[in-house]
Amino acid sequence: MGTHEVFAALADPTRLEVLTRLIRGGPATATDLAADLPVSRQAVVKHLAALDAVCLVERHRTGREVVYSFRPDPLGTVVDWVKSVGDLWDQRLERLRDQVE
């Protein structure tokens, strides 16, 4: 999955909140995640599907329930992108400092 798709999935505030809850609280069902969110369980299921599409969550069926858990691997592309932008700015600031001195 590319960086663009991961950023797009994380851009929605509700989706980001759902993912944060999985990161902090561990595996959970859509019902658990929707318990105190201002959206319906069905909306949470749709957000989980979007996160699943970019491999940020994985689904496990336990009886009649589907349990979702966080998968950190796709965030590696985001970390790499942020680092590359940071490195670029470090180089630019270094050149500016050299010119000022």
How sure is the predictor about 87, in pLDDT bands with cuts at 50, 70 and 90?
A: confident
pTM of full prediction above 0.85 = no
Residue 3: the pLDDT is 87
Per-residue b/e over 42-77, b at no fewer than 16 CB within 10 Å? Answer: eebbebbebbeebebbeeeeeeeeebbebeeebeeb
pLDDT in tens, 4-50: 899 999 999 999 999 999 999 999 999 999 998 999 999 999 999 99
Structure tokens at 50: 């979007």
Residue 96: the pLDDT is 86
Ordered by where they begin, the domains of the chain are 3-100 (1.10.10.10)
